[in-house]
Amino acid sequence: MNIRQIEVFHAVMTNGTASRAAQILRISQPAVSKAVQELERIVGFALFHRISGRMVPTSEGQLFFREVQGAFSGLVHLRSSAARIRDFGSGEIRVASLSALSTNIVPKALKGFQTRHPNVAVTFQVHMSSLVRDLVASGQFDVGLAADEIDVTGVDPSPFARHRMAIAIPAGHPLKSLDVIQPEHLDGHSFVALAPEDTVRRQADIIFMKAGVEPKVVLETPYSTTICAMVQAGLGVGMVNPMTAGPFLGKELVLRPFEPGIYFHTLLLLPPHQKPPRIVGDFIEELMNFSTFEE
């Protein structure tokens, strides 16, 4: 049996007559009768009694129709899915991001996207930048945001944002009284550090070495949000992406600028060698509303 035969049978059952089914399907009535006869031959039992030119469902036909209704619902779903793919590329998008932008920029972009596409399913996951790259490179995710220290082999990267690093300080810390933090101010202070592979961490280590200062590293983490939480708890001071500090400001944590300036660089990652589907392009448009390059 084929889909067309099932569609004809369903039309006859739901509309009551072969002539009405023919009108709905925009085919001739003989074509309807032929499709039903072919389906009866394939299933091996009569679907209709032919009484005075009318097609009256048999008991077997009624039972078969119950099964067809489930299959037909699936067919309607497939057609809807095909329409979404035709128009947008998919009925869902998959986004992965480094932690630093997961509580600020990405939620705002997703809100704008949802307003434009309220029926599109969104999968959003937060990972380390190297895993974000892997998810996009493998095609498991459509869009990624990652720090610039990653190897960009297998993805199509483009600059997304640049944010100047700031020093997070506990509310009662003596460094809070300073307007600007310089390397020598951090010498000997308890310090919550970024992971050694982080670009900002590497730049900071060079600056500290040249200045002859050595903060006391008490904890290392790849996440600015974790640094904010540890600073808020009083473990020390730390270098953070200021985008992550919003929920902590005024709650036992303050930010101060650092001289010389060091910057967090974020990349937008896409699968290589392919144009994004329209629906992904719409989400990227929302993201780019928050693309900033601080001086």
Task: Name the band, by pLDDT with cuts 50, 70 and 90, for residue 72.
Answer: confident
Tokens of residue 231, six digits: 């600073």
The residue among 124, 122, 148, 149 whose CA lies nearest residue 135 is 124
Residue 58 pLDDT greater than 60, yes or no = yes
Q: What pLDDT band is residue 89 in, cutting at 50, 70 and 90?
A: low
Section 115-143 average pLDDT: 92
The predicted structure's pLDDT at residue 241: 93
- Which amino acid is residue 284, in one-letter code? I
Q: How far apart are CA 293 and CA 285, in angstroms?
A: 17
Is a pLDDT exceeding 70 seen at residue 87?
A: no
How is domain 92-162+265-288 classified at the architecture level of CATH? Answer: 3-Layer(aba) Sandwich (3.40)
| Residue 84 pLDDT | 61
Identify whether the C-beta of residue 102 lies closer than 8 Å to the C-beta of residue 290: no
Give me the helices (H) in 150-266, please: 199-211, 224-232
Q: Does residue 75 carry a pLDDT above 70?
A: yes
In the numeric block, which tokens belong to residue 124? 């959003």
Given this model, what pLDDT does residue 273 score? 85
Q: What percent of the chain has pLDDT over 90?
A: 67
8 A C-beta contact, residue 127 and residue 135: yes
The angle that helices 18-25 and 29-43 make with each other, rounded to 10 degrees, is 110
Domain ranges of the chain: 3-88, 92-162+265-288, 166-261
What values do phi and psi take at 75, rounded to 5? Answer: -65, -40
CATH, domain 166-261, list 3.30.420.40, 2.60.40.10, 3.40.190.10, 3.90.1150.10: 3.40.190.10
Residue pLDDT, tens place only, 217-252: 999 999 999 999 999 999 999 999 999 988 888 888
pTM over the 0.85 mark: no
Is the model's pLDDT at 189 over the cut of 70? yes
CATH number corresponding to 3-88: 1.10.10.10
Confidence bin at 74 (pLDDT 50/70/90): confident
Measured distance CA(1)–CA(44) in Å, rounded: 11
Same fold, 92-162+265-288 and 166-261: yes
